[in-house]
Every structure is written in structure tokens, then in C-alpha cells.
Structure 1
Amino acid sequence: MATFIPHECLRAAPWKNGGGSTTEIAIAPLGAGFDDFDWRISLATITASGPFSSFPGIDRSLMLVDGDSVQLTFEGTRKVTLSAAQPMLWFPGEAAVSAQVKGVTTDFNVMTRRDRCRHQLEKITAPGKLARRSAATLLFVAGEGLVLARASDQQFALARHDALLLDADDAQEWRLEALQRTAVFRVDLFI
């Protein structure tokens, strides 16, 4: 059954290092923690430069939601800038990563436990059609404007930063309606 996840009901938790906060959007299994989740999707707000937490055995994807850019340094040498021009990045959770920011940024963060499942993250645009390709799919409205997600007898109105989690019992074909072109992040979870 589809689960509507309104942004206004989510709560941010500060990082231990004081460099930002994380707002969990969805996790499986429900109630899991950092040591036992299969997959986890969140928003991370970075307010200060510093190291990322290490997550051995986890595959991660980041996509910039707000802010100009964040520069990531991998293993002390390779630098990648997450920006509007380069909005998405995949990396192993055990990599030594540090972030440098000049202002506050928010990124969309997908983590999957490598030995249990995998994920695919992409940016799509509403209006448009969505054909499901996995047992679980999460839609996240990253852009401005309202998106109406419709499938047969189901309909959900999503505002900016709202999410919709679809499971195996939900329709395979969805229409994403919007009055203006709106960015939507799609996460397919292969379990």
C-alpha cells in the first residue's frame, strides 16, 4: 500500500559533530537503526565542513536539493563537487569522505546495505509517466510546485520535500501531474 510521507511530519536530528542534521524520510525494516537497516533514505543539511560518517558495507547516493554546491574529498585526494551541474554522486559508505561547504546545503541521501539490496537514484520531471521497475519505489518532490501522483484508484498530492513510498502491491503505472515542470527524485529499491 502506498505511504504518503509529508515533510512537515519529519524531524531533523543533529549530527554528533555539530556540522549538520539528518531528516529521515523512510527506512526498512521499519524501526531499524544505523546497524540493522536494509535501506535508508534521508535529507542531510550540511552547515559546516567536516568528515562524513563511515558506513562499511553500505552503498550511498547523494543528490543536491538546496544550496550552491558541496565539495567532497575522497580518501584525501579525489575531489568531486556536488552542484546543479553535477547533481548526483554514488560512493561506497566505507570511503573516507570529507565535505567542504561555503554555505548551507541540503542533499538527498540513499543508503542500501550491499549484501541485502541495491538502489537506483535518478532525477525525473513532472508532468510525466512513471513505470515501476522494483518492489519498492520512493518519489521525492525536490522542486517547487505541487505534484499529483495518480494510479487507477489512488491519488496523492505532494508538495516540495514530500515523499511517496510505493510497495509491491501498488500499481505499476503512475501519472505525475503538475502545472509547471517540477523536479522529482525517484529511488528504486531492489530487495
Structure 2
Amino acid sequence: MQWVLLTEEDYVTTNWSGGTTTQLAIAPQESVYANRDFLWRFSSAKVILEHSDFTPLPDYNRLIATVKGGLDMKVGDGARFSLAPYQIYSFDGAVSVESWGCCTDFNLMLRKGQCQGTLQALTLSAGSAVSWTAPVSAPEPFPRRTLAVYCGQGQVSLPEDHKTASAGQFLLCREAEDKPVCLESSQGAQLITAVIYSR
């Protein structure tokens, strides 16, 4: 498996109605977010307005977690609720979403009918190592597997690949094998791991 380490120099930051959004990775790589021609997209947004509305994305399913600060959300006609840091929430991008609170979040967008994916929060204590595996088997229509690890706090290493990510950095393997990945941390880390299945 070929992992790449993505840092601030690789990211693309743009403005949105509630603050700024930073694109960490997109597929296909030549896709343009504004054209809505992408299969999947990882991003991290800084919400600087106390009250904001999410951008509608009717062709996509979305997963979100905050990595700094809390967030209250109201999805469609549902009741307002609180999203704690590193709590994963998934929703249909076609549904209207209001939010309250200033935070930094982590997002995964998945094109409906063309890919599936999951996010999981993972905490590593100082000096620990874990064998990370995908939480589910690849669905039959989607044999390709993409793996990603976002470091929200601390530092995480892939010892087999000699790569280390610090806070705000992103490890990505676009063509992953179906085998465990060793993650270790000398100082402790708060992570969000991702698995995407596609054709």
C-alpha cells in the first residue's frame, strides 16, 4: 500500500457562508468541488459565525465530526442537538442543516450510489500502538478501498511506511489492501480514521 502524508502546503482553502473550508483530498484528483463532479472529498471547516447554514449537497451523503469546540445542529425538521468533539454524525446532503457554535470540524462527502464510507474516532495513548482494520467488509459493488487517518491532536506514525502526521495533517492511501494497518504514537493522539469503498 502506498501512503502519502498531506500537510497544509497540499490543502486548498476557500470561503463559505459560515467561515472557511479546507480541502484535504478529493477524488478523482482533477475534480473541482465547485463543479460537484467529485466522487468523495475530505475537508476541514472553521466555523466562525455563531449561527450558520450548511451548503446544500443533494448528490452526496455526508459525515461530520468536530475536532475543536462543540457544535449544535438542526437537521431538516428535527430537533436541535449537540455534537460533542469527535462524535461522528452522518446525514443526507440534500437536507437543510443549521448549526450554532464556533468550531473546527472534519467532513467526508460521498457521492450517492457510487461509493460508501465510514468515519471512526480513535484515541492513542502515549507510547501505544494499535492494529487498525476496516470496520466492515467491502460491499460487493465497491471493491476498491481507500483509507485515511486525520490527526486532530498529538502525533501518529505509520511505522511500516516511515510516515508521521502531526496535528492537522492527513495520511491517505487511495488504493488500499484488505489488511490491518499499524498506527503508533509516542506522545498520544486523537484521530479520525476513514474507509471509503468505491468501484
Contact 2:146 2:176 in 1 (8 A): no
5+ unaligned residues in a row in structure 1: which ranges?
Answer: none
Contact 1:45 1:105 in 2 (8 A): yes
Report how many aligned residue pairs link the two structures. 182
Contact 2:150 2:169 in 1 (8 A): yes
Contact 2:12 2:24 in 1 (8 A): no
Q: Shift of the alpha carbon at 1:170?
A: 5.7
Write the letter of the residue equivalent to 2:158.
A
After superposition, residues 8-47 of structure 1 pair within 5 angstroms as 8-15=9-16, 17=17, 19-34=18-33, 35-47=36-48
**Aligned position for 1:142:** 152
| CA displacement 1:124-166 (0-9 Å, x = unmatched) | 13331223566110111112x2211122xx2101101111111
**Aligned position for 2:105:** 107
- Quick check: 1:128 aligned with 2:137? no
**Residues 169 and 92 (structure 1 numbering): CA distance in 2 closer, same or farther, change over 3 Å?**
closer
- Quick check: 1:7 aligned with 2:8? yes
Counterpart of 2:98 in 1: which secondary structure?
strand
Write the letter of the residue equivalent to 1:183.
Q
Counterpart of 1:78 in 2: which secondary structure?
coil
1:156 is aligned, of 148, 152, 163, to 163
Give the aligned CA root-mean-square deviation in angstroms: 1.9
**Residues 11 and 38 (structure 1 numbering): CA distance in 2 closer, same or farther, change over 3 Å?**
closer
Contact 1:150 1:174 in 2 (8 A): no
Q: Aligned partners of 1:72, 1:2: CA distance in 2, in Å?
A: 34
Q: Shift of the alpha carbon at 1:76?
A: 4.3
Counterpart of 1:32 in 2: which secondary structure?
coil
Contact 2:10 2:24 in 1 (8 A): no
2:65 is aligned, of 53, 60, 63, to 63
Q: Shift of the alpha carbon at 1:171?
A: 7.9
| CA displacement 1:74-126 (0-9 Å, x = unmatched) | 22442121123x7221100001111111xx30100000001110110001133
Q: Shift of the alpha carbon at 1:169?
A: 5.2
Q: Aligned partners of 2:96, 2:133: CA distance in 1, in Å?
A: 36
Write the letter of the residue equivalent to 1:146.
Q
Identity %: 23
